């Protein structure tokens, strides 16, 4: 690096962005703007705007300062979009206010390290070349997202592409997935920056060509959304999903066990002959080996062609280890069969890293049912009245490639959750939007059952066909249709866009693009 690397490479249109403090504030605001692209705000057009603001600050910035720039961007994003974790720590973790704030701040600051590391890598690859930085930015952003969705079990939340369940790029989801959409959002922001730079140098034709090329996916994607990538059956499957709205503070209290089961049985009473009945995550809050009478009662009441699927913890001998273990599970009862054990566990919520050290320090590290074990890979779908139903429990629906891979041999998708941990925050609404993106990517109906909302039926285009409000005890009824075949994204997952990102990196490393 040159000795004068701290000098701007491109003079911004206004000195505001080059000032240390106003530039830092801009990065935090840019990150926060991304939260507004998601539910319940749906301002998807702020995605490219956010990227443009980031580039206005970082393109002229010294390479050695890009790590901090990435961290500030992440701080804005996760501080605004994921700080709902405070509710589970404070209200349900029996943790004092100062400790809850500290843990939430640590969570946000830790997540912000992912864009910080991505921007650091960006600085190493592009050095002080503005052109290289622009070309590499979409690739770096995507690789940072991918790493965040994988490392330490991953946090695949707040991907920019998810905002386009209701945006113009939705048609790309079955083809290139959420990471592919994110890539184009980032590329669009970079193209806007580059076009402005070209116009300032009176290179209008070049700017026009760049803008036209950038607009092509935005214009053509709506047409792609009209393509049916999978074949839908004509015979409907009737569905009844129970939203019990059991208060989180009593859900695991043994004294309230009978009341919970009676509530779900009472809600189900008029619907025993429905094709598929759904109870949410851990609706039966005792292990299956203790729930024999409950399961027998359900079997006795179900219609001959009906299946009830419910969340229920599983306790038994692991086929892998030969030891007794707990699983967060879902099982089919009645005219169906199968049990699925959750694979993607939530740190501290379902298992405690460094358990021997952290258990007992504060209430948050001793949450109910935080000793689950990860389920085995390559589990098959549940069978429900002849339908192959691939289940996903809560957090698992956020993993795009994981879900696409497991959806291949399924007719329907199903996800159960208990978002009561996050109260009246944006977290459960973001979770619903993520489920919608998974249905869109795979071209399959998805049934979503939750304890206190949002319970919904999502069609193969990612649109909600029916839902019931949060924080109400209610039953959702509707119809779904089975799908056959695979979308292009299901066959390739995110490998094409990740490969494109690596090609861009190699392209730059080979110095095809000059440094200045």
The full DSSP string for 104-154 is HHHHHHHHTHHHHHHHHHHHHHHTT-HHHHHHHHHHHHHHHHHHHTTGGG-
d(CA 182, CA 139): 10
- Going by C-alpha positions, the residue among 347, 329, 340 that lies closest to residue 377 is 340
- Catalytic annotation, pick one of 251, 342, 344, 461: 342
Report d(CA 404, CA 420) in Å as an integer: 27
**396 catalytic, yes or no?**
no
Residue 222 and residue 169 in contact, taking contact as beta carbons nearer than 8 Å = no
> Sign of the C-alpha dihedral, residues 385, 431, 374, 348?
negative
Let me know: does 242 contact 277? Beta carbons within 8 Å: yes
Residue in 281, 350, 396, 441 annotated catalytic: 281
Judged on CB neighbours under 10 Å (0-12, 13-18, 19+), 499 is exposed
Residue that is written with structure tokens 């095809």 in the block: 512
* Number of neighbours of residue 216 by Cβ within 10 angstroms: 10
Whether the Cβ atoms of residue 513 and residue 465 lie closer than 8 Å to each other: no
Active-site residue (options: 251, 344, 350, 394): 394
HSE of 460, CA atoms in CB hemisphere, 13 A:
25
Question: What six digits make up the tokens of 510?
Answer: 């080979």
DSSP-assigned beta bridge partners for residue 391: 414
Whether 394 is a known active-site residue: answer yes
Helix axes 97-111 and 66-81, enclosed angle (nearest 10): 130
**From CA 288, how far away is CA 316, in angstroms rounded?**
9
Residue 300 falls in the annotated catalytic set: no
Report residue 1 as tokens: 């690096």
C-alpha Rg value of the chain to the nearest Å = 24
Residue bearing tokens 């969570």: 107
> Which residues are tagged catalytic?
281, 342, 394
């Amino acid at each position: 690096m040159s000795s004068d690397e701290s000098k701007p490479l491109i003079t911004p249109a206004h000195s505001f962005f080059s000032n240390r403090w106003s530039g830092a504030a801009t990065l935090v605001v840019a990150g926060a703007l991304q939260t507004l692209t998601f539910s319940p705000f749906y301002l998807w057009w702020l995605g490219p705007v956010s990227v443009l603001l980031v580039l206005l600050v970082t393109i002229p910035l010294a390479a050695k300062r890009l790590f901090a720039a990435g961290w500030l961007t992440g701080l804005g994003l996760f501080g605004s979009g994921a700080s709902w974790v405070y509710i589970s720590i404070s209200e349900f973790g029996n943790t004092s206010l100062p400790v809850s704030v500290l843990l939430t701040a640590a969570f946000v600051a830790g997540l912000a390290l992912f864009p910080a590391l991505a921007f650091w890598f960006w600085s190493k690859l592009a050095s002080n070349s503005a052109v290289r930085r622009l070309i590499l930015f979409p690739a770096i952003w995507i690789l940072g997202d991918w790493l965040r969705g994988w490392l330490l079990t991953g946090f695949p939340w707040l991907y920019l592409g998810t905002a386009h369940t209701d945006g113009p790029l939705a048609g790309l989801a079955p083809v290139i997935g959420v990471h592919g959409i994110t890539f184009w959002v980032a590329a669009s922001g970079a193209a806007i920056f580059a076009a402005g730079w070209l116009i300032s140098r009176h290179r209008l034709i070049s700017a026009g060509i760049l803008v036209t090329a950038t607009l092509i996916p935005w214009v053509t994607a709506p047409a792609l959304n009209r393509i049916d990538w999978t074949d839908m059956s004509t015979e409907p499957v009737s569905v009844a999903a129970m939203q019990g709205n059991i208060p989180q503070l009593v859900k695991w209290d043994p004294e309230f066990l009978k009341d919970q089961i009676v509530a779900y049985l009472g809600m189900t009473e008029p619907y025993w002959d429905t094709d598929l009945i759904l109870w949410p995550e851990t609706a039966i809050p005792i292990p299956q080996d203790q729930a024999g009478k409950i399961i027998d009662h359900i079997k006795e009441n179900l219609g001959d062609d009906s299946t009830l699927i419910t969340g229920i913890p599983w306790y038994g001998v692991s086929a892998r280890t030969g030891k007794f273990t707990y699983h967060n599970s879902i099982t089919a009862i009645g005219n169906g069969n199968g049990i699925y054990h959750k694979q993607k566990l939530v740190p501290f919520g379902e298992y405690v890293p460094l358990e021997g050290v952290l258990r007992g320090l504060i209430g948050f590290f001793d949450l109910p049912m935080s000793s689950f074990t990860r389920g085995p890979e390559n589990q098959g779908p549940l069978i429900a009245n002849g339908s192959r139903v691939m289940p996903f429990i809560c957090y698992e629906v956020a993993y795009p490639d994981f879900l696409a891979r497991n959806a291949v041999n399924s007719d329907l998708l199903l996800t159960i959750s208990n978002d009561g941990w996050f109260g009246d925050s944006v977290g459960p609404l973001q979770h619903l939007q993520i489920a919608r993106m998974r249905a869109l990517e795979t071209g399959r109906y998805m049934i979503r059952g939750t304890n206190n909302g949002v319970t919904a039926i999502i069609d193969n285009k990612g649109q909600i066909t029916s839902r019931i409000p949060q924080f109400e005890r209610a039953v959702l009824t509707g119809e779904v249709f089975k799908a056959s075949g695979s979308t292009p994204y299901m066959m390739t997952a995110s490998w094409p866009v990740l490969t494109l990102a690596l090609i861009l990196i190699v392209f730059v490393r080979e110095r095809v693009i000059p440094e200045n």
